[in-house]
Structure 1
Amino acid sequence: MDDRQHRLLGSSPLFLQVVHAARMVAPTDATVLVTGERGVGKELLAREIHLHSRRRNRPFRVVGCAGVSPEQFARELDEADATGTLFLDEVGELAPVHQAGLMHLLDALDGKARLIASSSLDLYRMMQEGGFREDLYFRLNVVPLELPPLRQRSDDIVNLLKQFSQQLARSYGRRPPRYSVTSRNILKAYPWPGNVRELKNFCQRMAILMTGRMVQPEDLPPEIRRAAAPKPEHSPFTLPPEGIDLAVLEGEMIRQALGMTGGNRSKAARLLGISRDTLLYRMQKHAIRA
């Protein structure tokens, strides 16, 4: 395994704070629970902990917890190296029967393999609602580390874009694409719901389709352009299907403005966004006296 392909990338303070905590806990054998949205790099953080631990030369085994049978799950745990690191990926996806089995197997592994678990689900809330075993939650949640979503690391987006583009283009034997200032700003404004994984997939697409070219806004995927486009301001008024009598509405707005200002015509005009002379003309038009 090439460790360079499994490096955590980022320099935002929020991200570096989590990485620092991970390296602090790495030399110990404490159980770690890594949480965060899908695609933020939970497995990469687990590998970072493993690489800075005394078990770095032992196996790092990933056991997926989503959609596995009890037999398959038990077999995966049985095959885990007792001297390495066991990473339980998406432990919140475990069915109750799996959770009971996991507790039993963790008792057998106690003091042997280093345990790291991850979840994109809120395990504490699941525990409160009866969807996750309380004893298992407290067994896993010894040192909690939460990775922030990419939208909270906007300063990292351009750097990740550059690093992924160069890395992927090199793997294809091609020149990396470049990005215009406008394109970079659009990419920074996009919320990246799939987080770092989505950004890397985007970079792969651009490395293939835009080799050595300057990426302009029109070259970006439609969903990114749409999400980053300024939203139109919505009117506070909605025209009813049956329509309105505009003259009646205008007269009513003038009466309300005069009532709110105690009959002060200058203040009422400011509330309505019109000049005092225009207000006087429309008051006369609607036979309004103040």
Structure 2
Amino acid sequence: MNSVAEKMYGSSPVFSRALNAARMVAGTDAPVLITGEPGSGKASMAHEIHATSRRSNGEFRMIGCAGIDERQLEAELMATPSGSTLYMDEVADLSAEAQAKLLHFLESVEARHTGYPDVRVLASTGADLLALQMSGEFREDLYYRLHVVPLALPPLRERADDIVLLLKQFTTDLARRHGRKAPRYSVTARNLVKQYRWPGNVRELRNFCERMVILLPGAIVQPDDMPLEMRRDSATATNRGLFSLPEEGVDLFELEGDIIRQAICMSGGNRSKAARLLGLTRDTLLYRIQKHAIEV
């Protein structure tokens, strides 16, 4: 697993459960169906299973199922060497004819027919495969051949505790790969990263880190350096979080500090704009920034 994209980072409970389950099933030859949103790390999880399995010295072979016809699929399957791990990426995209070829292959491998390789099969999908099976778009017999051990990868927005860890680790790894000095992130930039919903999941975060490494080597990344969609998403998140006093009350000092941080994020770090958002003079805002020890 030499690629940055193939490494599995994270310690949040929801991610740790998925990773622990993957390592448990890696010691068997049971088929695994990995589900999750695009960019959530399904291929990385497949690599992790292979790397911790008894087949780790064999080949990891991936077949992309989108757009492949049954003849191409059959040729790819028969070319898979024995002792390898075969990963079927986005298996829901297979045509009906290609599904039939895959089913025949799996049946023959399980029966150890002469001429068929000894392989361990992993598959992934971002689609609801059960719904497709129930609607007749995906073969029921093939579904149950693949759906032996299901592993669901959480989206990055459900792994809030991992976002800053991934930001730092990807930045460090990619700076080393590109021979650049790793950039650092200001407090306001990190707040934007944490507030963003990451629709492209881990892949989008990794791409963002690579962009910062290439364009801002050794610099301190500020909100103005970040993609517009991240700044817009932060403003939307702030609007979603309009304050309502809970029955148990609040710590007013902490609340004031949090509101000031939100204003700084919304203004892209511009203190004059932040002051206008809060109805304060710039000098008053600077005083309160110092009072709360807020890094800008």
TM-score, normalised via structure 2 length = 0.76
Question: Secondary structure at 2:124's aligned position in 1?
Answer: strand
1:173 corresponds in structure 2 to 179
Amino acid at match of 2:231: R
1:252 corresponds in structure 2 to none
Map 1:60-99 → 2, pairs under 5 A: 60-99=60-99
Query: Retained in 2: the 8 A contact 1:158–1:184?
Result: yes
Map 1:126-205 → 2, pairs under 5 A: 126-205=132-211
1:253 corresponds in structure 2 to none
Compared with structure 1, are the counterparts of its residues 232 and 59 closer, same or farther at alpha carbon in structure 2 (3 Å cutoff)?
closer
1:206 corresponds in structure 2 to 212
The gaps in structure 1 that reach 5 residues or longer are 234-290
Amino acid at match of 1:74: E
Question: Alpha carbon RMSD of aligned pairs, Å?
Answer: 1.5
**Quick check: which has more Rg, 1 or 2?**
1
Is residue 2:127 matched to residue 1:121?
Answer: yes
Deviation of 1:227 after TM superposition, in Å, equals 1.1
Q: Distance in 1 between matches of 2:201 and 2:54?
A: 31
Question: Secondary structure at 1:85's aligned position in 2?
Answer: strand
Amino acid at match of 2:218: G
Compared with structure 1, are the counterparts of its residues 72 and 36 closer, same or farther at alpha carbon in structure 2 (3 Å cutoff)?
same
Q: Provide runs of 4+ in structure 1 moved above 2 Å.
A: 1-6, 230-233
Moved more, 112-121 or 167-176: 167-176
Q: Distance in 2 between matches of 1:60 and 1:213?
A: 38
1:239 corresponds in structure 2 to none
1:216 corresponds in structure 2 to 222
Question: Secondary structure at 1:229's aligned position in 2?
Answer: helix
Is residue 2:20 matched to residue 1:20?
Answer: yes
Deviation of 1:6 after TM superposition, in Å, equals 2.3
Question: Secondary structure at 2:61's aligned position in 1?
Answer: strand
Query: Once the two structures are superposed, what CA deviation does each residue of 1:43-89 show, in whole Å capped at 9, x if it has no partner?
Result: 11111111111111111110111111221111111111122111111
Amino acid at match of 1:212: G
Amino acid at match of 1:168: L
Deviation of 1:2 after TM superposition, in Å, equals 2.6
Q: Distance in 1 between matches of 2:171 and 2:239?
A: 33
Q: Distance in 2 between matches of 1:7 and 1:66?
A: 24
TM-score, normalised via structure 1 length = 0.77
Compared with structure 1, are the counterparts of its residues 53 and 100 closer, same or farther at alpha carbon in structure 2 (3 Å cutoff)?
same
Query: Retained in 2: the 8 A contact 1:82–1:109?
Result: no
Question: Secondary structure at 1:67's aligned position in 2?
Answer: coil
The gaps in structure 2 that reach 5 residues or longer are 113-117, 241-296
Query: Retained in 1: the 8 A contact 2:90–2:123?
Result: yes
Query: Once the two structures are superposed, what CA deviation does each residue of 1:214-235 show, in whole Å capped at 9, x if it has no partner?
Result: 11111110011111114658xx
Map 1:1-20 → 2, pairs under 5 A: 2=2, 6-20=6-20
Identity percentage over the alignment?
Answer: 53
Question: Secondary structure at 1:223's aligned position in 2?
Answer: helix
Compared with structure 1, are the counterparts of its residues 151 and 4 closer, same or farther at alpha carbon in structure 2 (3 Å cutoff)?
closer
Question: Secondary structure at 2:224's aligned position in 1?
Answer: helix
Q: Distance in 1 between matches of 2:4 and 2:215?
A: 25
Is residue 2:45 matched to residue 1:39?
Answer: no
Question: Secondary structure at 2:162's aligned position in 1?
Answer: helix
